[in-house]
Structure 1
Amino acid sequence: MSKNVMITDDVFNIFGDDFDRFRFPADICRVTAGNGGEALLIMGSEKTALLDCGMAYCGKSMTANLKKELKIRGREKLDFVILSHSHYDHIGALPYVKDEFPEVIVCASHHCCEILKRPNARNLIKELGTAARDLYAPDDKGDITIEGLAVDLVLKEGDSISLGKERIIAIETKGHTDCSMSYGLEPYRLLFTSESTGMLERAEYVHTPILKDYGDSMISMKKCMDYRAEYLCLPHFGMLPKSFNDKYWEMFEEACQEKLDFVKQMKAEGLDENKMVNQYIEKYWDSALKQVQPIEAYIINSKAIIKAFLKVL
């Protein structure tokens, strides 16, 4: 019998065994149940919020974790789901959350709300969710559902959601997608960034998944830096040491320039799109990334990244 493929923490052990990337300055716990995006439960003094849901294939396990953590804290209700963007690895488990908590209010950007109404987008979420299930849980033949993928409350720049003494502040951070949002948690000055401003994959490397617009990502970086967060929590990673915050932004900017130079070189060599994608994957794909996303999704993203960078050359 095949074993489920689970990500090993060694992949992200960048700051050593003494650093816990899921130790938060507020009452927040990780309820993630599989590979892909994280699912973080934020416990406010009065209300609760789930930041992203993760992939569909582990949706039932994630909701079990969620219910367990709520019970431990004497809570029963999940008030909000806050979506960072519309990609399958961050919202795939939403239908399972809504099954367990039918009164929950799903919050996201206007563009995310509109995307989830599009048949082509929904079909792609199902297709990539199925590929993830086949890779990470090959014994699971259950259908990947997309029923319930919808937004109830549209958030725009500066909107806030009250959890009691705490507030979640919406920050539009386009670049990865046009629907990407970052969120600040007050009064902790904790910023949950989006993929528009990168992901730390190794101690010396920041991945820059700019799928839509390079300029938008630069604007998003400035917005995040202007927030002057005391704590940074990155997608697909977790918390950074406070002493690393400034270094991270330097690394992100350098990585963007390095990738821009690489695409510029391929363009100067007269490579067509297919050859560019092949060279890009040869340069940046690492077998360890298979634990984070299926190669099918990586190829789709690689094509989009190249197009986004070509637009500014």
Structure 2
Amino acid sequence: MNKERFEFAEHIKRVTAGPGGEVLLIVGDKKTAVMECGMAFCGKKLVENVKKELPAGRSLDYIIISHSHYDHIGGLPYLKQAWPAAKVLGASYAKEVFTKKNALKTIHELSCTALESYQKMEPFWDVDFDFNDADLNYMDKDIHVDDVIKEGDLIDLGSAALRVLETPGHTNCSLSFYMEPDDILFPAETMGCLSPRGEMMMSMLKGYRDTMKSIEKGEKVGAKRIIAPHYGMVAKDIAENYWNLSKSAAETCRNLITDLSEKGASEEEIYRAYKERYWHGIRLNQQPEEAFEVNGKNVIRAILKEKESY
């Protein structure tokens, strides 16, 4: 494990409770915020971790979600149960998603699949988690967005503030956050996920063009430091090339799909090639194979649909 990935500023605490998703607590001198929520099955442990890191006498003020996927919002209902007054901040599309019964059903099903997948494996994650403490007994009503945030909004924590960037491409509701005065960017999964071996993994569920526009927006911010999703603090040498890695990975993925389509390959044949290229097992892909397949097939459909409009 590269410990530098989890070395942050003093007011940024890693409260990740288990495998599958990174969670950070940001402590400003006036307000506090949790960035992302991780997996549902370790939600109770997440609450314990946040309580340990909150300064004495302080409560949790904000729960910030970058998008509506199960591995980013799973711990949300547990946090809301512990801090009912905490405001959940997310995109308008995420707010809409959480009103749909089918979406909530899918979130729960994928959360169950993730728990089963991780339980079967020898531990490879770097946080202590006892699967005897795993819990999926939450209420759907606690999965919601209280306040919609959009491009340019400022989440003021006092000594730190997070500026909102709308960065669709992975989902319609994907948001990135630029923290001032620390000059740190929290890019959305739209810009890619770094694997432990430094490979950029893309999931362009909403297409290549939106993804590239969002990558360019993130690059334009010019932040000195990057805290990447499912990864942590990006080393300086990688950060200097982060946006080129993202662009190259997006182009490579799109070209794989479109080239095979032009050669007459079916969607299933394209998926087999996609899986051969991008599935490296749960340790590197950081998600169960079932979730990888769902996302992969949706990426292929999105790219092919976009190709028809060129």
TM-score (norm 2): 0.90
Unaligned runs of 5+ in 1: 1-8, 14-18
Equivalent position SS for 1:225: helix
What is the rounded CA distance, in whole Å, between the counterparts of 1:76 and 1:166 in structure 2?
A: 16
TM-score (norm 1): 0.89
Structure 2 residue 69 is matched with structure 1 residue 87: yes
1:3 — aligned with what? none
What is the rounded CA distance, in whole Å, between the counterparts of 2:71 and 2:22 in structure 1?
A: 9
Alignment CA distance shift 1:142-1:44 (3 Å): closer
What is the rounded CA distance, in whole Å, between the counterparts of 1:127 and 1:305 in structure 2?
A: 20
Structure 2 residue 232 is matched with structure 1 residue 238: yes
Instruction: Choose from 253, 276, 280 the match for 2:247.
Output: 253
2:95 — aligned with what? 113
The number of equivalent residue pairs is 295
What is the rounded CA distance, in whole Å, between the counterparts of 1:283 and 1:244 in structure 2?
A: 22
2:273 — aligned with what? 279
Instruction: Give the alignment of 1:25-36 within 5 angstroms.
Output: 25-36=9-20
1:5 — aligned with what? none
What is the rounded CA distance, in whole Å, between the counterparts of 2:248 and 2:255 in structure 1?
A: 11
Equivalent position SS for 1:123: helix
Instruction: Choose from 202, 206, 221 the match for 1:208.
Output: 202
Please state how far the C-alpha of 1:270 moved relative to its aligned partner. 1.2
1:309 — aligned with what? 303
Equivalent position SS for 2:163: strand
Equivalent position SS for 1:168: strand
What is the rounded CA distance, in whole Å, between the counterparts of 2:196 and 2:60 in structure 1?
A: 34
Instruction: Give the alignment of 1:119-198 within 5 angstroms.
Output: 119-137=101-119, 142-145=135-138, 146-198=140-192
What is the rounded CA distance, in whole Å, between the counterparts of 1:196 and 1:291 in structure 2?
A: 15
Matched-pair contact (CA < 8 Å) for 1:109–1:179: yes
Q: Deviations over 1:225-263 (max 9, x none)?
A: 111111111000011123432311111111111112211
Alignment CA distance shift 1:288-1:152 (3 Å): closer
Instruction: Choose from 55, 61, 77 the match for 2:59.
Output: 77
What is the rounded CA distance, in whole Å, between the counterparts of 2:56 and 2:198 in structure 1?
A: 42
RMSD after superposition: 1.7
Q: Deviations over 1:118-164 (max 9, x none)?
A: 11111100100111122224665744433300010100100011111
Matched-pair contact (CA < 8 Å) for 1:233–1:240: yes
